[in-house]
Amino acid sequence: MRLQASTFGFREISTPIFEHAELFTIKSGPSILEEMYAFTDKGGRDITLRPEITAPVIRFFVNELTDAPRPLKVFYIGPCFRYERPQSGRFREFFQFGAELIGAQNPESDAEVIALAASIVEKAGLKDYRIRVGHIGILRKKLRDAGVSPEMIPSILQKLDKKLYDDARPIMEQAGMSDGSIDEVIGITKVTGTVSVLEDFEGESRDYLQDVAKILDASHVKNLRIDLGVIRGLDYYTGVVFEVDVLNLGAEKQVCGGGSYSLSELFGGERVFSTGFAIGFDRTLLVLEEEGFKAPRRAIEAYVIPVSERMREKAFEIASALRARGIAADVDLMRRNLAKNLKYANSIKARRAVIVGEKELETRCVIVRDMETGDQRAVKIDDLVEFFVKCGGNGV
């Protein structure tokens, strides 16, 4: 994830795990406190373990980075905490990766963020996934045109986001919408397909979303689907919204979500366009497990074995030289004999054993044993590092 974000020109930042609770209640309202580990510290301050990292990033931007060149492209990785019932793919402590692009309001910015998310999902090894992209402006316009007040729009969108149509209908009726307008809005949330489904709509939001889709197509983003039912349910989202689903996860199929938003003005800054997303590590790992993925284990390239007490310091010297070049090396710490050390090297899947013997050392050599084939050869100590590099070690 770090590599992919860096490849897209994003830079890593870190924010505190503890934050003022107000940071999140300003964004999401006081009801969010029920989902947070919030408490009063010894100084009488209302503190919480962060439930997500977008708000801390924007707070950091407002306080420290408003003069930075734009667009500002940042990413983060860290633990978050939510007080909710643990279930499959949902834990009270979880790790989150996210990226935020701040300061550029155009289709290119939204497409760039979606392309990064798609790249990470692809590189992670997820197979049966789908990227669903919508634009919340299309529904907001329909609701405004139907005479719904700005105050009532968020509650309607929250119900529509969860496809709770029976709950949304009375709210829309209360807002003064006709049966025809209600059916039209509900129908919009069921519009899915290729970009051609947007031809039945008009307006800036439609045009904007079409431009995003064109850039994503030029960027070779796969498994893309237009879905106007993607709403994200939070009032601060302002435009393009998207989610990444893995189809074999069932009800908890979403592994990534994001979109464009504006938060900086809530924290005392100027209004700045932002777009971003977050990926849950836990659900991603759950998907990989379901798909039978086995994480490659970085093997020990060299397990260094001193054959006698006198060779112990030389063994550490050799291990140190290998490590200095980025070659994964371990060394005997248990003072085992040669046979037991070879057995241990095999158990930890070391690729090669480096046997430091007194006789070989007289000619400044060691014995290198291939743990898979059993073949072994003498290698000059001065050539040992390059030997491992040429054999495919992780030398740097």
Residue 27 has pLDDT above 80, yes or no: no
Query: 376 with 368: CB under 8 angstroms?
Result: yes
Predicted local distance difference test score (pLDDT) of residue 296 = 63
Residue 396 in this model has a pLDDT that exceeds 60: no
Q: What is the mean pLDDT of residues 34-52?
A: 92
- Picking from 347, 350, 353, the residue whose alpha carbon sits closest to that of residue 366 is 353
At 290, the amino acid letter reads E
Taking residues 127-154, what's their average pLDDT?
91
Instruction: Select from 331, 328, 324, 395 the least CA-distant residue to 366.
Output: 331
Residue 395 scores a pLDDT above 50: no
Q: What is the pLDDT of residue 393?
A: 61
Pick from 37-51, 111-125, 249-263: least confident:
249-263
Nearest residue to 98 (alpha-carbon basis) of 28, 15, 213: 15
> Which domains, and CATH codes, for the chain?
2-290 (3.30.930.10), 302-390 (3.40.50.800)
CA 298 to the chain's CA centroid: 22
Mean pLDDT estimate for the chain = 90
Question: How far apart, in Å, are the Cα atoms of 201 and each of 77, 140, 147, 204, 233?
Answer: 38, 13, 19, 10, 22
For the stretch 71-99, pLDDT in tens is 999 999 999 999 988 776 678 899 999 99
Does 358 have pLDDT greater than 70? yes
pLDDT given for residue 236 in this prediction: 75
DSSP result, 90-153: B-SEEEEEEEEEES--SHHHHHHHHHHHHHHHHHHT--SEEEEEEEHHHHHHHHHHTT--TTTH
Q: Coil, strand, or helix at residue 330?
A: strand
* Res 133 pLDDT > 60: yes
Task: Return d(Cα 110, Cα 206) in angstroms, integer.
Answer: 14
User: pLDDT for 260-290, tens place per residue?
Assistant: 998 899 888 999 999 999 998 877 777 777 7
CA–CA dist 284, 322 (Å, integer): 34
Please name the helix (run of DSSP H) or strand (run of DSSP E) that holds residue 364, with its range, or none.
none
Q: What is the DSSP letter of 266?
A: G
Q: Is the pTM of this model over 0.95?
A: no
Residue 276 bridge partners (DSSP): 100, 259
Residue 54 corresponds to which tokens in the numbers above? 């977008």
